[in-house]
Structure 1
Amino acid sequence: MGKIVAIGGGEMRFHETLPIDRYIVEFANIENPKLLFIPTASNDAKGYIDTVKAVYGEQLGCEVDTLCLVDQDISDETIKNKILSSNIIYVGGGDTVKMMEIWRTKKVDQYLKEAFTQNIVLSGLSAGSICWFLEGHSNSSIETNRDGWWDREKVIGLGLISANHCPHYNENGHETFDDNMLYEEVPGIAL
Structure 2
Amino acid sequence: MPAEQPTILATSGGLKPGTRTRLEFDRLLHHAVELSGVSGRAPKVTHIGTAAGDQRAFNSEMDEAARLAGFDFSHLNLFTMPNHADPEAHVLDQDVVWVNGGSVVNLLAVWRAHGLENILHKAWQSGVVLAGVSAGSICWFQGGTTDSFGPELRAVTNGLAFLPFANGVHYDSEERRRPLVHRLVADGTLGETHCTDDGVGLVYHGTELVEAVTEVPGKGAYIVTASEGADGAVEERLEPRYLG
Moved over 6 A (4+): none
2:117 alignment partner, one of 100, 109, 113: 109
Q: Is the 8 A contact 1:89 1:121 kept in 2?
A: yes
Q: Which residue of 1 aligns with 2:142?
A: 134
> Per chain length, whose mean CA-contact separation is higher, i.e. which structure has more relative contact order (CA < 8 Å, sep 6+)?
1
Contact 2:76 2:82 in 1 (8 A): no
Q: Which amino acid aligns with 2:44?
A: K
User: SS in structure 2 opposite 1:168?
Assistant: coil
Q: Which runs of 5+ in 2 are unaligned?
A: 197-244
Counterpart in 1 of 2:195?
A: 190
Q: Report the 3-state secondary structure (helix = DSSP H, G, I; strand = E; otherwise coil) of the residue aligned with 1:177.
A: helix
SS in 2 for 1:186: coil
Deviations 1:110-155 (A, max 9, x none): 100001100101000000000110112111112xx23xxxx22314
Indicate the percent of aligned positions where both proteins have the same amino acid.
24
Once residues 16 and 37 of structure 1 are traced to their aligned partners in structure 2, the CA distance between those partners, rounded to angstroms, is 14
Secondary structure in structure 2 of the residue aligned to 1:44: coil
Q: Mapping of 1:107-186 within 5 angstroms?
A: 107-142=115-150, 145-146=151-152, 151-170=153-172, 171-174=174-177, 175-184=179-188, 186=191
Does the 8 Å contact 2:25/2:69 carry over to 1? Answer: no
Structure with bigger helix share is 1
Q: Is the 8 A contact 1:126 1:168 kept in 2?
A: yes
SS of the counterpart of 1:26?
A: helix
In structure 2, the residue matched to 1:68 is 77
> Would the aligned equivalents of 1:97 and 1:155 in 2 still touch at CA under 8 Å?
no
Larger Rg: 2
Q: Cα RMSD (Å) of the superposition?
A: 2.0
Q: Name the stretch that deviates more: 181-190 or 5-14.
A: 5-14
Structure-2-length-normalised TM-score: 0.69
| C-alpha contact (below 8 Å) 1:141/1:153 kept by paired residues | no
User: Which residue does the alignment assign to 2:44?
Assistant: 34
Hey, which of these two has a bigger chunk of strand by percent?
A: 2
Match of 1:86 among 94, 99, 102: 94
Q: What pairs up with 1:38-53 in 2 under 5 angstroms?
A: 38-53=48-63
In structure 1, give the amino acid aligned to 2:32: I
Give aligned pairs, total: 183
- 1:163: how far off? 0.4
Aligned 8 A contact 1:136 1:156 in 2? no
Q: How far apart are 1:180 and its partner, in Å?
A: 0.8
Deviates most, 25-34 or 118-127? 25-34
Question: How does the TM-score come out when normalised to structure 1?
Answer: 0.87
